[in-house]
Structure 1
Amino acid sequence: MSFQDIITLIWYIFQIAIGYNLVLPFLLLMLYALVKSHGRKKLTSIVEADYAIIVTAYEQTTLIPSVVSSLLKLNYSNYLIYIVADKCDVSSLKFDDERVIVLRPEQTLSSNTRSHFYAINRFKRSHERLTIIDSDNLVDPNYLLELNKLFDQGFSAVQGVRDAKNLDTLYAALDGARDIYYHFFDGKVLFNVGSSATLAGSGMAFTTQLYKDCLGHQDITGAGFDKILQKEIVSRGFRIAFADNAIVYDEKTSKSDQLVNQRARWINTWFRYFSFGFGLFGKGVLKLNWNMVLFGLILLRPPLFIFLLIGLFCMFLNLILNPFIAFIWFLGFVIFILGFILALAINNTDARIYKSLWGIPKFIFYQVLSLLKVRNANKHSVATKHFHADKNTK
Structure 2
Amino acid sequence: MIVIELAWLLFQCLIGYNLIFPVVLLMIFSFKKRPEVRNRLLSVSGVPDYAIIVTAYEQIEQLPAVVSSLLKLNYSSYHIYVVADKCDTTGLHFGSDKVSLLRPEQVLGSNTRSHFYAIRHFIRPHSHLTIIDSDNLTDPEYLNELNVYFDCGFKAVQGVREAKNLDTTYARLDAARDIYYHFYDGKILFGCGSSATLAGSGMAFTTALYRECLEHLDVTGAGFDKVLQEAIVSRDYRIAFAEHAVVYDEKTSGTGQLVNQRARWINTWFKYFSLGFKIVFKGVVNFSANQFLFGLVLLRPPLFIFLLLSGFFLFVNLFIAPVVALVWFIALCVFVLGFYISLKRSETDRRIYQSLVNIPKFIFFQVLALFKSRRANQISVATRHGHSEQHE
Q: TM-score range by the shorter chain?
A: over 0.9
TM-score normalized by structure 2?
A: 0.97
In the alignment, the residues of structure 2 paired with residue 112 and residue 101 of structure 1 have an alpha-carbon distance, to the nearest angstrom, of 17
Q: Is the 8 A contact 2:38 2:148 kept in 1?
A: no
Aligned equivalent of 2:5:
8
User: Runs in 1 of length 4+ with deviation above 2 angstroms?
Assistant: 36-48
In the alignment, the residues of structure 1 paired with residue 104 and residue 378 of structure 2 have an alpha-carbon distance, to the nearest angstrom, of 21
Aligned equivalent of 2:306:
307
Aligned equivalent of 1:129:
128
> Secondary structure, in 3 states, of the residue corresponding to 1:133?
strand
> Secondary structure, in 3 states, of the residue corresponding to 1:246?
strand
1:33 to 26, 30, 35: 30
Task: Kindly provide the CA deviation profile for residues 121-158 of structure 1, in whole angstroms up to 9, marking residues without a partner as x.
Answer: 11000000000000000000000000000000000000
Q: Is the 8 A contact 2:34 2:191 kept in 1?
A: no
Task: State the aligned residue count.
Answer: 386
In the alignment, the residues of structure 1 paired with residue 109 and residue 375 of structure 2 have an alpha-carbon distance, to the nearest angstrom, of 15
| 1:206-285 correspondence runs (5 A) | 206-285=205-284
Task: Kindly provide the CA deviation profile for residues 57-86 of structure 1, in whole angstroms up to 9, marking residues without a partner as x.
Answer: 001100000010000000000000000000
Q: Is the 8 A contact 2:310 2:328 kept in 1?
A: yes
Aligned equivalent of 1:22:
19
Q: 1:37 to 1:120 in 2, by over 3 A?
A: closer
Aligned equivalent of 1:85:
84
Q: 1:154 to 1:220 in 2, by over 3 A?
A: same
> Secondary structure, in 3 states, of the residue corresponding to 1:77?
coil
Q: Is the 8 A contact 1:158 1:240 kept in 2?
A: yes
Task: Kindly provide the CA deviation profile for residues 355-378 of structure 1, in whole angstroms up to 9, marking residues without a partner as x.
Answer: 110110000000000011111101
In the alignment, the residues of structure 1 paired with residue 158 and residue 39 of structure 2 have an alpha-carbon distance, to the nearest angstrom, of 16
What letter is aligned with 2:214? L
> Secondary structure, in 3 states, of the residue corresponding to 2:89?
coil
What letter is aligned with 1:28? L
Aligned equivalent of 1:175:
174
In the alignment, the residues of structure 2 paired with residue 307 and residue 289 of structure 1 have an alpha-carbon distance, to the nearest angstrom, of 27
- Taking only the aligned residue pairs, the percentage that are identical comes to 63
Q: Report deviation, 1:380.
A: 1.1
In the alignment, the residues of structure 1 paired with residue 8 and residue 381 of structure 2 have an alpha-carbon distance, to the nearest angstrom, of 38
Q: Is the 8 A contact 1:48 1:76 kept in 2?
A: no
Aligned equivalent of 1:286:
285
Q: Report deviation, 1:44.
A: 5.2
Q: 1:91 to 1:341 in 2, by over 3 A?
A: same
Is structure 2 residue 148 aligned with structure 1 residue 149?
A: yes
In the alignment, the residues of structure 2 paired with residue 164 and residue 267 of structure 1 have an alpha-carbon distance, to the nearest angstrom, of 21
Q: Is the 8 A contact 2:61 2:387 kept in 1?
A: no
Q: 5+ residue gaps in structure 2?
A: none
In the alignment, the residues of structure 2 paired with residue 101 and residue 27 of structure 1 have an alpha-carbon distance, to the nearest angstrom, of 46
Aligned equivalent of 1:159:
158
Task: Kindly provide the CA deviation profile for residues 219-261 of structure 1, in whole angstroms up to 9, marking residues without a partner as x.
Answer: 0110000000000000011000000000000000000000000
Q: 1:45 to 1:64 in 2, by over 3 A?
A: farther
Aligned equivalent of 2:117:
118
> Secondary structure, in 3 states, of the residue corresponding to 1:227?
helix
TM-score normalized by structure 1?
A: 0.96
> Secondary structure, in 3 states, of the residue corresponding to 2:31?
helix
> Secondary structure, in 3 states, of the residue corresponding to 1:375?
helix
Q: Report deviation, 1:96.
A: 1.1
Is structure 2 residue 111 aligned with structure 1 residue 98?
A: no
Q: Is the 8 A contact 1:132 1:202 kept in 2?
A: yes
Q: Is the 8 A contact 1:84 1:104 kept in 2?
A: yes
Aligned equivalent of 1:334:
333
| 1:360-379 correspondence runs (5 A) | 360-379=359-378
What letter is aligned with 1:355? Q
In the alignment, the residues of structure 2 paired with residue 121 and residue 232 of structure 1 have an alpha-carbon distance, to the nearest angstrom, of 21
What letter is aligned with 1:9? L
In the alignment, the residues of structure 2 paired with residue 158 and residue 343 of structure 1 have an alpha-carbon distance, to the nearest angstrom, of 21
What letter is aligned with 1:138? L
Q: Is the 8 A contact 1:284 1:292 kept in 2?
A: yes
Q: Report deviation, 1:381.
A: 1.2
In the alignment, the residues of structure 2 paired with residue 189 and residue 195 of structure 1 have an alpha-carbon distance, to the nearest angstrom, of 9
In the alignment, the residues of structure 2 paired with residue 168 and residue 152 of structure 1 have an alpha-carbon distance, to the nearest angstrom, of 38
Q: Is the 8 A contact 1:58 1:383 kept in 2?
A: yes
Q: 1:343 to 1:388 in 2, by over 3 A?
A: farther
